[in-house]
Amino acid sequence: MTDRAPAEHPRPDVPVQVYVAPGRSSFGPAIAHFDRWADLTLERIRGNPIADTVFMSATKLGDWSLIWHIVNVSRGLTSDRRAAQTPVLALALGVESLLVNQGLKRLFKRPQPTAEGDPRYPVRRPLTSSFPSGHASAAAFTAVLLTSWDDKRSAPLWWTLASTVAVSRAYVRIHHSSDVVAGMAVGTVLGLGARTILRRTGIMAAARRLTSP
């Protein structure tokens, strides 16, 4: 469903597509109001060179979880313990992607907030439903696992990186903000589930044996 423009005259400095976004009303007026408010809030910093660079880089690195695979391999080079975690996280990210992109997303058919993407931010357009955000889910999923494997002092690093990737999807207007919130929630739940499975099944111990010299 496509939202109608608001009765009041939109601000002249705000692109009309920020007011009229496909799919914004898919989940009712409360979610539509939140998405419109979030879009207008982000519009205040869109066009800032630093913000544009940070969020455009984050959203492109989030494609196919590239940033998380880079982090994963880089960590694996720092110690034997982390080297054992590398194949586990790579496989876990693959499973998470299947569950979200080929499973959960197929239950919803929410359009992206822009029909062809925001012309100010040329990014790859997802082929699946806008809800939930796969970038946000993968980000939270990885942050949960990395925080559980490293000490708790690493949490600000991983969650700041994850949040940046997640918010970037709403910033470049390829997802509604509610898609991002839902994606973070889904990724957190899946991450906690994966952490429990890894602890109870002995997969980590097996990975350490396979990667030890």
**For 80-108, what is the mean pLDDT?**
95
- Residue 8 CB contacts under 8 Å (≥ 6 apart), including other chains: none
- Residue 17 CB contacts under 8 Å (≥ 6 apart), including other chains: 113, 114, 118, 173
Q: Is a pLDDT exceeding 70 seen at residue 93? A: yes
Q: Which structure tokens are listed for 112? A: 């992206």
For residue 152, name the pLDDT band (cuts at 50, 70, 90). Answer: confident
Alpha-carbon gap, residue 213 to 169, rounded angstroms: 41
What are the tens digits of pLDDT across the range 9-19? 456 566 666 66
**H helix count then E strand count, the chain:** 9, 0
Alpha-carbon gap, residue 6 to 72, rounded angstroms: 45
Query: Any idea which of 26-30, 82-86, 157-161, 207-211 has the lowest mean pLDDT?
Result: 207-211
Q: Which structure tokens are listed for 179? A: 């898609």
What are the tens digits of pLDDT across the range 159-169? 999 999 999 99
**Cβ(57)–Cβ(43) below 8 Å:** no
Which pTM value belongs to this model? 0.89
Strand partners, 22: 2
Nearest-5° angle of CA 67, CA 189, CA 103?
75
Q: What is the pLDDT of residue 14?
A: 65
Query: Domains of the chain by range and CATH?
Result: 24-211 (1.20.144.10)
- Residue 132 CB contacts under 8 Å (≥ 6 apart), including other chains: 100, 104, 105, 108, 179, 180, 182, 183, 185, 186
